[in-house]
Each structure stands twice: as structure tokens, then as C-alpha cells.
Structure 1
């Protein structure tokens, strides 16, 4: 239950590139907040200068390194009736950025949480990708370690929805190559670079082609959009492929029984057929 006498936590979207994309309410909230929690206070100063806004409230940093300790401080301010504005370097707080921990704590205290909608790299890249947008999922950043990255990709290899990833420009080529191996070299994808900025670029093509393009390095903020897995025709899936589908899920941490049930459900096959294929593969 929310307490009327308590403060309000405001999550504010900030421009992902062009400062002209700042939502109109952002300036008003920056000026009115009792506390502004910023992922990078230097970037906040540049943003407020560009918007011509003077922040009268207290400014504190709120980033991965101090998120745990500062959350309690901000919740106390909220419970004391203050208006706390949370901004990250770009886009919406909590989406692969600091914020979730504070929202969770504020909700637990019954504090009202609201948002100033703003630019989103996820939705912008999705719209520009040229891939289906009726159903999609956001996968954030892939793990840095090769084994963990391969396991994560194996986990979503059969995902039918369009997938959106964030990636570092330094790891883009390696990640695209890993996607090509896990999803197939011909799976359609789009690499969206420097969205809304001067050198915005959207490169579309098969994963293998994009991996070759990125091999020598790419600069800028990167969002990758990958088409979902095409529906499988059960008649075209042999025992070895069934066993491989189960093995991928097991590698991602699923129990074999659950993996067998999921593969059977996705292909419309009896669970016994999938189980027999797994047993036969083990014997081989």
C-alpha cells in the first residue's frame, strides 16, 4: 500500500544521443526534485546545461559501484517525503542500467514510483531493424566469458520472438560469431550503432555476414536485433536434431526432463519420441 505522506520516486528517461529528444517533463522534474540520483554526475551537468535547467535539489551519484549502499539512503529520503529523481547516462533507468534495486526497495516501503517516459535504445533499434516487432524479448548484455556466452545463446536458440541485445563495440565481432554458431549463419539480424547521433548506422544482414563486418572492430554504442527462430516442421527434425535441442537446453542449466518436455511441446511431438532420441544419442 502506498503512503500518501511519503515521497515519490521518479524514473526519468534521458536522450540516447540527440539531446533534442529529451522529454519535455524531464526539465521540470530536474528543477523540482529534492534529490537527483545520477549514474554519472558529470554527464548530468552536461545534460542540464544543454537543457538550460538549474537543479536546486541535492545531487548524488548512483551507479553500479555504490548502488547497494546508496539505495538505503535514497529510500530514507523517500520515506521522509522527498521527491527523488533517478537518471542514468542514457535511456530508461533499470533497463540494463541502475534502478531496479531502488524501485524494488521503494515498492517494499509502499512508496509511489512513477516515470517520465523517454528515448529507448531497445525500442528504437527494434523499430529500425526491419525484423518482426509483433513479439520481442530483451536479453541485455551477453556474458563476457565464452562458455557462459555459449550457454546463454543455446538457451535462446529456439526462441521464436525477435531478440534485442546490448553489446560492447569491443566484443561485437566475437558475440556475432557466437550467435551465428548458435542460431545459424543465415539467421537475419541488424546491428544498430550510435542511434540518434551524427554517425547513426543500421547494418542488416545474416549473422555470419555481420560477424565478418565487425571482425576488425566497430565504434559507438551498439544494439543488436536478431530474428527469432523459424517454426520447425516436426517432419524435418530427426532423432539427432531432437537430441541436440535437448542438449542445448541442458547446457543452459535445464533439467533433462524439463528440456525434453519443452522440445516436445514446441515441435508438437510426443515426449516419448524426444526421450527415445536422447537415449539413442547417449548410446551412440
Structure 2
């Protein structure tokens, strides 16, 4: 391949990547800009990408509650509690289960893995009725605890399957060498296996966090008291009014995306796939 052909191919690929980036970023840009527009600019017959008159009125309305019993910080706290507990519990359980599946042989191991794959094929909404009936029997309906249990169960299958691959990729020679040096099973797990599985644990944590943070249907079915609402439920409130308040919706949505971005920025440094190869070379 000639130099000119390589250059043209590189330009074409970079151009395609730029188009994909703009296509993905444009809705976010429009959301943020709309949050700072006045109602006149939002309802203008001519779409305005940038506000003519900047305002923080929509953010003030969201923080004050605007007809709700509580401000957005209260619902933000509910969503944060649900998401963080889901991430912590599902991460620990999935890590232990993945290690057991990847490192031990037991009866029904293959059936267990197939079951995890089949469960991922069933939409969570299809299980909403039996989940609600069981939650009602256990007196967990209309509670954050019941919602957290459902979210943990929905994220475990994917997390176990992903972490199993990371655990299986760790050479057994590392653990055997540590055992020969007199390390206990607990020491081997926390000092050798856990640091190498950390990138996979970060990836599954992001999945669990986003799932618990964005989910709407189950939360809408489970929660009745406004005091226990999560952030997605507060967004639906603005759609249910006589006039859709796009400014408040976009302001709340802008605030809604900030925690996910912060969580990703905190953990993205751990998403390194070369830790295992580096350990083997060392």
C-alpha cells in the first residue's frame, strides 16, 4: 500500500470517527444548552443551538422542587444510595462467584453458566409482576431496600460472566508460585488475584451503576411515596403536567448525567487490560 493510499485511508477513518463523535455528542450539547435557555428561546419557531438569553431559572426551579414535596437533592441522595449499594454488593458477590466458577470444578457448573446466559436474554420488565408479588409478600414493596435487591439481581448475571473471563485469564502459575512461598488462600486472593481482576471489576461496576442510576420502569412500579422517588421518576413528573416544561427537564437531565461522568472519571484509570501480561512478564 502506497503512502498516498495510507494517508487517504487515515483521513477517511479520522473523518468517520469525527462524525460518530459529533453524532453522539450533539444530543448532550443540545440538552445542556436548552437548560440555560429562557422559555421564549425554547419555544421559538427557529431552533437556537446557543441561548440568546442565558438564565439559571430552570436550575433554580429544579433545586426548589417546582411542585414536588422535595428538591432535587433529596432525590439525588436516594438515587446515589441505591446505585452505590448496588455497585458494592453486586461487585463483591459477582467477584466471589466468578472466582469459584473459573477456578473450581463442581457438579452443575456448565448448567450454571448457561443459566446466567439465559437470564440475560429475559427483559427485566417481563419479570416485573412476579417481582412485585414477591416484594409484596416480603413487605419490600415501596421501599429502597426492595429496589436495591432487584437491581443487584439484575446486574449479577452480566457481572459474573464478565469477571469469570478476567479470572480465567490470570495464569495459575502466579497463584501456585505464591502458594509454594507459603501464602494462604486468602492472601493469594487479595494480593494477587484481586489486583489483576480490578479492571474487570471496574467495568462491571460501571454497568451496575448506570443500570441502577438510569432504571425507570421497575422504580416506577415499586415506589409509591414521593419521599422515596429516584431521579428518573422526578423527570417523568415534568412530562405529566398540562404543559411540558422542557427547560426544567433539560436542567434536571443535565444534573442527572453529572454523577455518572464523575464516577467514570474516578474509575477509568483502573480500566487497563494489560495488567495480566505485565504481571507475567515481571
Pick the TM interval, shorter chain.
Answer: under 0.3
Larger strand percent? 1
User: Which structure has the greater CA radius of gyration?
Assistant: 2
TM-score, structure 2 as length reference: 0.22
Larger helix percent? 2
Select the structure with the greater relative contact order (CA < 8 A; seq sep ≥ 6).
2
